[in-house]
Structure 1
Amino acid sequence: MREDFLWGGASAANQYEGGYQEGGRGLSINDVEQGASHGQSRIIHDCIDEKCYYPSHQATDFYHHYQEDIALLAEMGFRCYRMSICWSRIYPHGDDEIPNEEGLQFYDRVFDELLKYEIEPIVTLHHFEMPLALVKKYGGWRNRKMIDLSVRYAKTVMERYQNKVKYWITFNEINSLFIAEVPWHQAGIIYQEGENKTDVMFQAAHYQLVASAKTIIEGRKINSQFQFGNMILYNCCYAMTCHPLDQMMLHDKLLPIYYFSDVQIRGKYTNTCFSYQKRMNAHFDIEEGDLEILRNGVIDFYSFSYYSSLVEGREIEQSADGNLLDGGKNPYLETTQWGWQIDPLGLRISLNLIYDRYQIPLFVSENGLGAVDEFKNNTVYDNYRIDYLRQHIQALIAAIEEDFIDCFGYTMWSPIDIISAGTGEMKKRYGFVYVDYDDLGQGSGQRYKKQSFSWYQKVVQTNGKEI
């Protein structure tokens, strides 16, 4: 492993930060999502109903615990931390004339704390949240106005933190816009009765791709040393059989992944993109100058989330779940408590497929195990989490050392417990650190190290030699 390999963890503001009414912050789209129980989706409200519980309001309260939490990351030896900035903390309504200085100062303190421990911040600009006011005023990413507003926000934070942050990711899991049944997190969109969902989806995708490219163009003017990445929800998938039709179905399953990364890396809509547009019978507007922006705003590295794999084919008898995905069950794999198939070798396969296609540096930006943890004796004995991560890190190391894949970092999801994006529950826990909150946000908020804490500490300290 390269000596400067970036070991760390990742989280998102809307699942972790809290402090939703503090420091001049405006409402985000997550702030009107009521909590739900296991297997159900959160209910999206038009405004806040005081009788309902909204998990994102408190989340696990990084806003008030950031010094303590970052100290825990440092104790594990983190070399990097992938986090997101809450847009509505910087521009409360998204289109305000001036940014919110209190919000900017909060992230100044966070970055200063990280750098005090020599932890490299890796910042996602858009991680499944946006100011609620932009949905009400413009319809979210349906509207081209979102391009300039998002770029203005990005320029504000890039200028402010240009001496503190080197790595920037534009949109989290940008291709999930094509996967989500209701792309509320991805684009602030709830499809309206009678509208062409496909056209709305492709138009929003185009606006986000232009915004991403334009952000990169503007960012390089601010600091030529900035490094920009995309972030893809990667779907490792296998054909059910060797039948040619199953193989073709596998090919089709991968098109929404390649659609976005082709544009962000090659700077244009490729044959793969045109093929997918035709298959979906999609129509959307491209204005003069858009294609030049896409051409000039390509990324420097490819980052992606990897949790599980699926099977695709004509005759799927049993289904399996995944990160916003569904597909066939693989009889050779075990599953998590949430029905996600555990496939460490799939990570190595994915790294090879991605690198063979694009030949640019890779970064594993999310990988982890959600499980119900039993809190006992002020800790959690989570050997199941250690086993999952150990096998995936072994696959990662094999891809780097044996397959010669250029991968410069790994951030597991999420080092400190956070709320679920899908349901808002706490019981689906990922962290090395247990946070004392329940599904209704009740508890002390106190942090406790799990058994996996010291295990990952050793992995980082030995640069992956002891796992």
Structure 2
Amino acid sequence: MKLFPDNFLWGGAVAANQCEGAWKADGKKESICDHLTAGSLNKNRVFTSGIIEGESYPSHTAVDFYHCYKEDIALFAEMGFKVFRLSIAWSRIFPHGDDEIPNEEGLQFYDRVFDECRRYGIEPMVTLSHFEIPYHLVKAYKGFSDRRVTGFFERYVRCVMERYKDKVKYWLTFNEINFATMPMGNLEVLGIINREDDEVANPLDDRNLRFQALHHVFLASARAVAAAKEINPEFKVGCMLAHITMYPLTSRPEDMLLMQELDHLINDFCADVQIKGSYPGYVLRYLEKNQIDLTVEPEDEAVLRNGCVDFYSFSYYMSNCVTTEEGHATTLGNLLGGVKNPYLETSQWGWQIDPKGLRYTLNKIQDRYGIPIFIVENGLGAVDEPDDNGCIHDDYRINYLRQHITEMERAIEDKVDLIGYTVWSALDIVSSGTGEMKKRYGFIYVDKDDQGNGTMKRVRKKSFYWYKKVIQTNGGDLTDIEI
């Protein structure tokens, strides 16, 4: 039985701050990620107000996609990508964020990237803000806590959409926007820093300011959607959430209610606003309960209502459990850890592997929203070591992807409207969570270590050849291969 539709969009994904490097090239100014130090599994990344001599800032060079994009896109084409998800670095286009005139050299770079994609028949999918807020907006405006920044964002959006209206069809507004429902989302989604040299994962938090800034981000997203429809009615614009799938640890009603409360706030809230165009009742209750007083202008309701997205996109890596009981073992995860599920295995970085949770999540999203769904991040971070012949046998990654694609098939049987899948990541890049190179996700090995040593040579992993076969057969053949 053939499950994946003929026009299903198979591909891979990256983010500018994790792959491009060239942090000061051709008119680009600093973004927030250019001020993030390297970390590890046991050491949080730190945001520093200045660039400290001798400190490691991985985004400064990353894997040099800025100069290697032709080679990299050719490799993606060899795999058979139908779509390539990438982001535009806002500070390449408007170096300070509030500039009147865009940086032409930055615009030309993405012209070349999109032209290269088109040359191979690859559809670009562009994230407009992927943890890439210009640093000047953090210093001068405290990011999106200042309503004026929504106007700067709209100027940037209109600029790139006008420029690339014949080259890009699929757009995402804010990456993992629901990150901002938690303190750790202050910097990367909202551009807020409340104290100098703060840990990104555990920052000083002003909850009222954070939710006010998130309101402004909702407005910015809605205005981006409205601009898209005006510039090219054929554009498709999606939201992008990190879905942190949760289960109650026990059958106690208290655990079920806690799971529902957290699921609503972390997973449903941002999508409800971006898809339905208004704040749901459970959020109004949360704001009231926590004495969060938002400043809402008279026109905001109409802006949100008129800026609803066309499709739902999300990242899915793992699931966790929640409970009101104390003393249970915990686990790490993407954005948010939780209580350990005794029925699941974990990755090298402590993330619980739950392929069936993806099917559950897809059905939940379909039932709640009834619009097309795109999985734009799913993958396994692991230490990949070349053997004596230089080959990388990443069977663990193949197994992870195979299990998740199998559950995607079952979700399509369940009548979920799944339109595409971009694996995180297309090639090895800097890990966003830890700032490491050794936590590798790609189909393509990049010869660079955590100290910045290496040739930057690209090497096809075993998963490269396996995913090529998956795409060639439109998901019909997930069996192992020999290389």
- Please say whether Structure 1 and Structure 2 have the same fold, judged by a TM-score greater than 0.5: yes
SS in 1 for 2:124: strand
1:321-348, CA deviations, whole angstroms, 9 ceiling, x for partnerless residues?
1101011101110000011000000000
3-state DSSP of counterpart to 1:373: coil
Aligned residue in 1 for 2:286? 276
Alpha-carbon distance between aligned partners in 1 of 2:180 and 2:468, rounded to the nearest angstrom: 35
Match of 2:97 among 90, 94, 99: 94
The answer as to 2:323 corresponding to 1:323 is no
Q: Per-residue deviation at 1:180?
A: 4.1
Give runs of aligned pairs for residues 259-338 of structure 1, distance below 5 A.
Answer: 259-315=269-325, 317-338=328-349
Partner of 1:388: 400
2:377 counterpart (347, 360, 366): 366
User: After the TM superposition, which residues 43-442 of structure 1 pair with which residues of structure 2 at under 5 Å, given as runs?
Assistant: 43-181=46-184, 183-192=186-195, 197-256=206-265, 257-315=267-325, 317-376=328-387, 377-400=389-412, 402-442=413-453
Worse overlay, 172-181 or 344-353: 172-181
Answer whether contact 1:182 1:190 (CA < 8 A) is retained. no
Q: Tell me, yes or no, if the aligned pair for 2:444 and 2:460 is still in contact at 8 Å.
A: yes
What secondary structure, in the 3-state scheme, does the structure 2 residue paired with 1:397 have?
helix
Greater shift after overlay, 38-47 or 197-206? 38-47
The secondary structure found in structure 1 opposite 2:125 is strand
Return the alpha-carbon distance in structure 2 between the equivalents of residues 196 and 226 of structure 1: 37
SS in 1 for 2:224: helix
Aligned 8 A contact 2:14 2:86 in 1 = yes
- SS state of the match for residue 443, structure 1? coil
2:179/2:185 contact within 8 Å kept: no
Q: Which moved more, 1:121-130 or 1:28-37?
A: 28-37
User: Alpha-carbon deviations, 1:124-167, whole Å to 9, x = none?
Assistant: 00001111011111111111111000010010000000000001
**Scaled by the length of structure 1, what TM-score is found?**
0.98
| Structure 1 gaps, min length 5 | none
- Whether contact under 8 Å (2:26, 2:105) holds in the other structure is yes
Question: 2:138, 2:193 within 8 Å by CA — same for their partners in 1?
Answer: no
Match of 2:481 in 1: none
C-alpha displacement of 1:195? 8.8
Given that 2:186 and 2:205 are in contact with CA atoms closer than 8 Å, whether structure 1 keeps it comes out as no
Answer yes or no: is the 8 Å Cα contact 1:228–1:299 preserved in 2: yes
Q: Separation in 2 of the partners of 1:359 and 1:186?
A: 26
DSSP 3-state at the match of 1:228:
strand
RMSD: 1.4
Offset from partner CA, 1:4-48 (integer Å, 9 cap, x none): 000001110000111111111111111111212332121211121
Runs of 4+ in 1 over 4 A off after TM superposition: 192-196
Q: Give, in whole Å, the separation in 2 of the partners of 1:161 and 1:358.
A: 29
- Mapped contact 1:379–1:434 kept (Cα < 8 A): no
Q: Could you tell which deviates more after superposition, 144-153 or 45-54?
A: 45-54
Q: Which residue of 446, 461, 467 corresponds with 2:472?
A: 461
Residue type of the alignment partner of 1:432:
F
Letter in 2 for 1:398: R
Q: Secondary structure at the match of 2:426?
A: coil
Q: How many residues align?
A: 466
Instruction: Provide TM-score, normalisation by structure 2.
Output: 0.95
Shift of 1:223: 0.4
Distance in 1 of aligned mates of 2:263 and 2:359: 17
Check 1:405–1:195 CA distance in 2 against 1; reply closer, same or farther (3 A cut).
closer
Moved more, 416-425 or 159-168: 416-425
Moved more, 303-312 or 45-54: 45-54
Report the alpha carbon displacement of residue 288 of structure 1 after superposing the two structures with TM: 1.7
Give the secondary-structure state (helix, strand or coil) at the position aligned to 1:105: helix
Kept in 2, the 8 Å contact 1:459–1:466? The answer is: yes
> Take 2:12 and 2:161, find their aligned partners in 1: how far apart are those partners?
22
- Alignment of 1:449 with 2:424, yes or no, is no
Cα distance in 2 for partners of 1:111, 1:195 equals 39
Structure 2 unaligned residues grouped into runs of 5+: 197-202, 479-483
CA contact (8 A) 2:241 2:313 kept: yes
Q: Is the 8 A contact 1:90 1:153 kept in 2?
A: yes
- Single out whichever of 271-280 and 377-386 deviates more from structure 2: 271-280
Tell me which moved more, 29-38 or 423-432: 29-38
CA deviation map 1:385-435 (0-9, x unaligned): 0000000000011101x2010010000100100001122110000001000
The change in CA–CA distance for 1:180 and 1:442 in structure 2 (over 3 A counts) is farther
Aligned equivalent of 2:199: none
Cα 1:195/1:320, change in 2 over 3 Å = closer
The one-character-per-residue Cα deviations of 1:406-465 (angstroms, maximum 9, x if unpaired) are: 010000100100001122110000001000000021111000000110000000000000
State whether residues 372 and 428 of structure 1, in contact with CA within 8 Å, keep that contact through their aligned partners in structure 2: yes
**Aligned residue type for 2:83:** C
| Identity over aligned pairs, percent | 52
- Give the deviation of 1:188 after TM superposition: 1.6
1:275 is displaced (CA, Å) by 2.6
Between the aligned partners of 1:439 and 1:74, the Cα distance in structure 2 is 28
Structure 1 Cα separation of the partners of residues 155 and 299 of structure 2: 18
Three-state SS of the structure 2 residue aligned to 1:108 is helix
